Structure 1
Amino acid sequence: MHQQSAIAVAELDLAAPEGPVLAFRPAPGAPDPTPGDVYALVRVDGRPAATVLGRYEEGEDPAEVLAPLAAKRLLESATLQTDAERLAAAEGRKKPPLSTTPASVIVATRERPASLARALDSLLAQDHPDHELIVVDNAPRTSATHDLVTERYAGRVRYVREDRPGLATAHNAGVAAARGEVLAFTDDDVIADPGWLSALAAPFAADPGLGCVTGLILPARLTTPAQILLESHGGFAKGFAPRLYDPARPPADEPLFPFTAGSFGSGANMAFRASALRRAGGFDPATGTGTPARGGDDLYAFVAVLAAGHRLRYTPDALVWHHHRETWQDLRNQAYGYGAGLTAYLTATLVRRPALLPALLARVPRGLAYARTMTAERGTSDGGVPGEHGTHHHPWPASLSRLERRGMLYGPVGYLRARLARGGAR
């Protein structure tokens, strides 16, 4: 893999798209930028609007270097929007009132107390006025998580132990314990923006038909080649345009809807109306990290809620900073797991919701083409990500494409193994 030096991660605050600069600072938890490449979140009037990549030299002001690049990026984004997209974006950019709907934040974890503490510190700093924080300790081997939560965070964080392994099982344990009307989920390797929960919860109050909201995920650090490669190809981000997915009005640009659930968001940044998630049956316990299925728990829940007739909204205002895995082997495991999780969730959907089979079969030809595209050797992404800067290029390795495809072949087998294992346990 191409060896790339570390890229600093920062935030650039602008009063308006053309400036002036209000602030420039490192991303939460990141070190101060030093001369070299800088990847920055651009905020306009405090709200996430774009990412930009630039390079500054010794003696230069990084904000002065990045601000013109940010203005250009924002102008390009506005120019490329259709009238309908521009109207939807303008509507989505209106600042919603601070949500007062009671919310529960659920974090599933296993033997990562250091990263969990970092996440909890950010979650305890949320500006949402009425929320609880629940940690689900999944199949623990030691008392480290229990000790952290019950000692350092006593009285501020609720501790739930779930001995059956699997992310979906852990999430279901959190759902059972939660008291909020909105159930928000994130991972133990994120730092949440102070307004994250408020932004994630507000759309539910504005739209009674909404069942799920997802948000923006950006890299907390870009220090290793594996992290840079992942972010060069989009990482977990879904862009800066708010979007509504309505099963009554399938999006014309997504012919596989609702089965391309990966485009809706990710489990590291999602929330559900509690009543909608519970009526949909919660998460399928035979999916997710920690099971033979390897993943797909979040995708299953997205489609389950949509299949029940609820809408799903993506809002970039709900931001978390994610600590990407650092090593090449981590990336290999991730590629295989993504492929497996994709077909595992599809299998779970058909097993538990067979009425969706005709709709899925009708989309099989396009689905196969989509799968080939998704796992092809990819060029670098555009839109202010590391791969487009200067002469740095990060083609997606053929070995990772093969691993994704192998994972897709394995996913249905993994899901059925997970179901059998749970049946044996019962």
Structure 2
Amino acid sequence: MVAVTVVVCAYTLDRWQDLVASVRSAAAQQPTPDELVLVVDHNPELLERASRELQPEIPGLEVIANERRKGLSGARNTALERASGEVVVFLDDDASASDGWLASLLEPYGRPDVLGVGGSAAPRWPTGLSRPATLPEGSHGRGVLDWVVGCTYEGQPLSQAPVRNLMGCNMSMRVRPALDAGGFSEDLGRVGRTPLGCEETELCIRMQQRRPDGRFLFEPSASVRHRVSPDRLTWSYLLHRGYAEGLSKATVAGQVGQDQALETERGYVARVLPGAVLRGLGRAVRGPGRRNGAEGAAAVVACLAATAAGYARGRVAAATGRTSFASRPALGVTAERSGA
């Protein structure tokens, strides 16, 4: 079994209970992590509380501050540079791992061509609420638009399979190749509540460009429950998140090329979304659930339109030199480390 560093990144006290549950779920895994690290993103109050309350509770937990640019990418790069394991695992601060999660993520690393392994994420809805019409259900219990809330969505593999990139809330990768590729771009990724992203997509593509023989795997049995806050169930969040996704994809396309940046998305748009719209319209006509069917179809169309608008805006900004994203790797190639 490879040596593993499990990392949780956190930025706000508002998620304290979620953060505690996340770290506890990671610490309770079998096998236990060789190293468990909480990276606090430029929040001295959270850093102090975690050091005072959480660190004494969980033996071996290391609480450190983000030493790089503010944001999730900077926090992850801090962890990459400090990790002692051959493999680093990232778990979101509002996600709780299931039993067997870590073992399922680590099993494929017995194959030397595996660069990274990602798991699945199921939504944990707010207390008293269920799946909203803005996130219509697809097949196999997955939502068509569940990527909006950081969860596994319809169209992703149902069993272990190669994928272009990993999903940020539940992913692992070999440390050495990630560092050699430059780490996470700190011009991408979430900062506070701003829902930009795709930093893991861009890094996975760069890692594979450096290692054409390498691959990333999706292992759905490595599952987590990802909390969905009430503010993410609204139409405004759906459109805002879609637009931000388009902006982020435009930045990735400028860095690694449009073909690789949109390879997965083309299949999703061509196969999954039309079926979702037709199912929603069918429900709207035949009932029961007419209203939910109509709203679900409208949500798919609106989210796709917002994403396309964000992508177009990002590409125009890049072409005119007005983009705020430099789209560059954040880390230089560091010194050789053992175990990689």
Question: Which residue of structure 2 lines up, in the alignment, with residue 270 of structure 1?
Answer: 171
Number of residue pairs the alignment of both structures matches? 290
Q: Distance in 1 between matches of 2:26 and 2:216?
A: 23
Does residue 146 (structure 1) correspond to residue 48 (structure 2)? The answer is yes
Shift of 1:229: 3.4
* From 64, 71, 77, the counterpart of 1:172: 77
Shift of 1:226: 6.6
Q: TM-score, normalised by structure 2?
A: 0.73
Per-residue Cα deviation, 1:14-73 (whole angstroms, up to 9, x for no partner): xxxxxxxxxxxxxxxxxxxxxxxxxxxxxxxxxxxxxxxxxxxxxxxxxxxxxxxxxxxx
Shift of 1:132: 1.5
Question: Which residue of structure 2 lines up, in the alignment, with residue 242 of structure 1?
Answer: 160
* From 105, 108, 119, the counterpart of 1:200: 105
Question: Which residue of structure 1 lines up, in the alignment, with residue 305 of structure 2?
Answer: 402
Written as runs of structure 1 = structure 2, the 5 A alignment for 1:63-102 is: 100-102=1-3
Per-residue Cα deviation, 1:74-108 (whole angstroms, up to 9, x for no partner): xxxxxxxxxxxxxxxxxxxxxxxxxx321011122
Shift of 1:372: 6.3
- Secondary structure at the counterpart of residue 217 of structure 2: strand
Q: Distance in 2 between matches of 1:290 and 1:375?
A: 30
- Secondary structure at the counterpart of residue 335 of structure 1: helix
Q: Distance in 2 between matches of 1:231 and 1:126?
A: 33
Question: Which residue of structure 2 lines up, in the alignment, with residue 113 of structure 1?
Answer: 16
Q: Distance in 2 between matches of 1:367 and 1:103?
A: 29
CA contact (8 A) 2:183 2:329 kept: no
CA contact (8 A) 1:293 1:418 kept: no
| Rg larger for | 1
Written as runs of structure 1 = structure 2, the 5 A alignment for 1:250-289 is: 261=164, 264-289=165-190
Question: Which residue of structure 2 lines up, in the alignment, with residue 333 of structure 1?
Answer: 240
Shift of 1:303: 1.0
Change (3 A) 1:265 1:147: same
Q: Distance in 2 between matches of 1:296 and 1:109?
A: 18
- Secondary structure at the counterpart of residue 325 of structure 2: helix
Task: Name the aligned partner's letter for residue 305 of structure 1.
Answer: M
CA contact (8 A) 1:214 1:313 kept: yes
Question: Which residue of structure 1 lines up, in the alignment, with residue 337 of structure 2?
Answer: none
Q: Distance in 1 between matches of 2:179 and 2:11?
A: 24
Written as runs of structure 1 = structure 2, the 5 A alignment for 1:7-406 is: 100-111=1-12, 112-140=15-43, 142-154=44-56, 155-162=59-66, 164-205=69-110, 207-221=111-125, 223-224=128-129, 229-230=134-135, 232=137, 233-234=143-144, 235=146, 236-237=151-152, 238-245=156-163, 261=164, 264-290=165-191, 294-308=196-210, 309=212, 310-327=214-231, 328=234, 329-350=236-257, 373=270, 379=276, 391=289, 393=293, 394-397=296-299, 398-406=301-309
CA contact (8 A) 1:227 1:326 kept: no
- Secondary structure at the counterpart of residue 216 of structure 2: strand
Q: CA RMSD in A?
A: 3.6
- Secondary structure at the counterpart of residue 168 of structure 1: helix
Structure richer in helix, relative to its length? 2
CA contact (8 A) 2:40 2:46 kept: no
Per-residue Cα deviation, 1:334-383 (whole angstroms, up to 9, x for no partner): 22222222222222325xxxxxx8x66xx98x89966965996772699x
- Secondary structure at the counterpart of residue 395 of structure 1: helix
CA contact (8 A) 1:150 1:159 kept: no
Q: What fraction of aligned residue pairs are identical, expressed as a percent?
A: 19
Change (3 A) 1:138 1:145: same
Which stretch of structure 1 is more off in the superposition, 277-286 or 321-330? 321-330
Q: Distance in 1 between matches of 2:80 and 2:189?
A: 16
- Consecutive unaligned residues of structure 2, counting only runs of 5 or more, are 138-142, 331-340
Shift of 1:203: 0.5
Shift of 1:409: 2.4
Change (3 A) 1:299 1:422: closer
Task: Name the aligned partner's letter for residue 148 of structure 1.
Answer: A
- Which has the higher relative contact order, 1 or 2, with Cα contacts under 8 A spaced 6 or more apart? 2
Task: Name the aligned partner's letter for residue 238 of structure 2.
Answer: L
Which stretch of structure 1 is more off in the superposition, 332-341 or 390-399? 390-399
- Secondary structure at the counterpart of residue 134 of structure 2: helix
Q: TM-score, normalised by structure 1?
A: 0.59
CA contact (8 A) 2:120 2:221 kept: yes
Q: Distance in 2 between matches of 1:227 and 1:120?
A: 28
Task: Name the aligned partner's letter for residue 129 of structure 1.
Answer: T
- Consecutive unaligned residues of structure 1, counting only runs of 5 or more, are 1-99, 246-260, 351-356
